[in-house]
Amino acid sequence: MNDVLRPVTTAPRPLSVSEFNRTARDTLEQRFAAPIWIEGEISSAKLVASGHLYFELKDEREDARLACVMWKGSLARAKAKMTVGEKILLRGKPTIYNPRGTFQFVGDASAAAGAGAAAAALEALKEKLRAEGLFDDERKRPLPRFPRVIGVVTSPSGAALQDILKELFRRWPVRVVVSPTLVQGAEAPAQIARAIALVQRIRSLDVLIVGRGGGASEDLAAFNDERVARAIATCRVPVVSAVGHQVDHTLADLVADLRAATPTAAATLCTPELDDERDRLEDFRRRLRSALSGKIAALNLRLHKLQPRDPRRALAASRQRLDELIERAEQALRRRLVARRRALAQLDVSLQGSHPRVRLTRDRAALDRLGARLLPALRRRHQLHAQRLVDLQGRLERGSRKVLDRRAHALGLAAGKLDAMSPLKILERGYGVALHEGRALIDASTVAPGDTIHLRLHRGALDATITRTEPGT
């Protein structure tokens, strides 16, 4: 009984190989959504005709190997030698090649192991900041053309500060605010970021120079620090990066609004040349003086043309002209008034003739004359039409009788002919009509001996049986 009541469970649908591989690949790629770095030695490598590199990395500490692939585009940007025996750092993501179900690591960047670890970390930080948009050209701000206050974040004892001050004061009268900081060492990044934040408190600050003089790559590490890059990115005024004597760009260079090759070049970019501005201003002054001189000369010429005229003479001419215009206006008004009066008189005469009483009297007289002329003519026409109507009625009656007489005579003739042609008249003369199967029998060949026929006589009918038939000729 218990076996009967036990629920029946159905086995789950089995996965196909491709479904399993695809599920495993999706799970793996979701687990490692962000690129990771791995370290190992290249144990085998094969460069195919398409330019892609298939290789293996092995771990010296344990017997472990990892199948890897690097596509052609990534291989061209690789910073490590991708040959057998090289120890490298490889950045990428793991995946499963679905057709074969093989596990492999797809690399997109590489660096030499050991000393290359720092480069790999820097490259990862660059990718992170680039993804946030801190390197985008759209966020770069232009420098002010005529700065009044320039901030400098650098070491107060370094030669870079002296180079900047010397160039600034030589080119343009500007106020310089120095925010001192260390530019190398472990504490340098935090101090640089703090110095940038402090100098921004000056409300009149127009532009900021952040940098140092030349040095080895490890001496410039502070300007590749994330804290320094973010401090520059959030600065409220444009920032010029001035990390001198370097080949590769630091993070500070990439985030800043403008990069200068040296501190002196940064001072040049931030200020105009005073002598050039003086020359430009002098040229503007000359062109303005020339334009004003021309304008003044034109006004003097116009004033000279106006001076010989006597205002009293012009006033007298204007008065005389006004008198002439008034006289002409009065004459025109008088002529128009006379014409209007003449037109008004004509309209009055025409209006008197069109008065309703006058028109009514005239129309009544005309109507009486017309009635006296038309009444006798209408009476004569009425009598003539009455006589014509009587004559027409008589002619119509006579014509109708003639037509009826002709139609009656024709009807009698037709009735006589019809009666003479009637079958009944023929039967009266001793003839009969033979009928077979309801039809008139006109051919003896259509019946056979033994058939019954029906004879219609003038009076009565007979049924007969055929005993013999003779064909007609």
Q: What share of the chain is helix, strand, coil (3-state, %, to 5)?
A: 50, 20, 30
The separation between the first and the last C-alpha atoms of the chain, rounded to the nearest angstrom, is 111
Among 118, 105, 102, 130, smallest CA distance to 35 is for 105
180 within 8 A of 199, measured Cβ to Cβ: no
Residue 245's pLDDT is what?
65
CATH architecture of 17-131: Beta Barrel (2.40)
| Per-residue CA distances from 31 to 20, 28, 34, 106, 268 (Å) | 17, 5, 9, 15, 51
Residue 1's pLDDT is what?
46
Q: Rounded to 5 degrees, what angle do the CA atoms 121, 123, 124 make? A: 65
pTM for the model stands at 0.45
Q: Alpha-carbon distance 81 to 87, whole Å?
A: 9
Show me where the domains of the chain are located: 17-131, 137-275, 417-473
Q: CB under 8 Å to 120, separation ≥6 — which residues?
A: 37, 89, 91, 109, 111
| Per-residue CA distances from 64 to 25, 42, 61, 85 (Å) | 21, 12, 8, 15
Q: Alpha-carbon distance 264 to 172, whole Å?
A: 14
Helix (H), strand (E) at residue 429:
none
Going residue by residue through the chain, which has 473 residues, state the pLDDT in tens, using 9 for 90 and above. 455 455 555 667 888 888 898 999 999 989 988 899 888 889 889 999 988 999 999 987 777 899 999 999 999 988 888 898 888 889 999 999 888 888 999 999 888 776 556 676 788 888 999 999 999 999 999 999 999 999 999 999 989 999 999 999 999 999 999 999 999 988 999 999 999 999 999 999 999 999 998 877 777 889 999 999 999 999 999 999 998 766 668 999 999 999 999 999 999 999 999 888 888 888 888 888 888 888 888 888 877 776 655 566 566 667 677 777 888 888 888 888 888 888 877 877 777 666 677 778 877 888 888 878 888 888 888 888 888 888 888 888 888 888 888 888 888 888 778 777 777 777 777 778 888 887 887 777 788 888 888 888 878 888 888 887 776 65
Residue 108's pLDDT is what?
92
Residue 314's pLDDT is what?
61
Residue 165's pLDDT is what?
95
Backbone phi, psi, residue 463, to 5°: -110, 135
Q: CB under 8 Å to 184, separation ≥6 — which residues?
A: 212, 215, 219, 220, 221, 222
453 within 8 A of 466, measured Cβ to Cβ: yes
Q: Alpha-carbon distance 228 to 139, whole Å?
A: 17
Residue 248: HSE in the Cβ half-sphere, 13 Å Cα cutoff:
13
Q: Alpha-carbon distance 234 to 197, whole Å?
A: 9
Residue 10's pLDDT is what?
62
Q: Could you please report the per-residue DSSP string of 96-154? A: EETTTTEEEEEEEEEEESTTHHHHHHHHHHHHHHHHTTTT-GGG--PPPSS-SEEEEEE
Backbone phi, psi, residue 243, to 5°: -95, 105
Q: Alpha-carbon distance 183 to 213, whole Å?
A: 9
Q: What is the largest distance, in Å, between two alpha-carbon atoms of the chain?
A: 169
Q: Alpha-carbon distance 338 to 413, whole Å?
A: 101
Among 52, 42, 43, 49, smallest CA distance to 75 is for 52
CATH architecture of 137-275: 3-Layer(aba) Sandwich (3.40)
Q: Alpha-carbon distance 249 to 136, whole Å?
A: 15
Same fold, 17-131 and 137-275: no
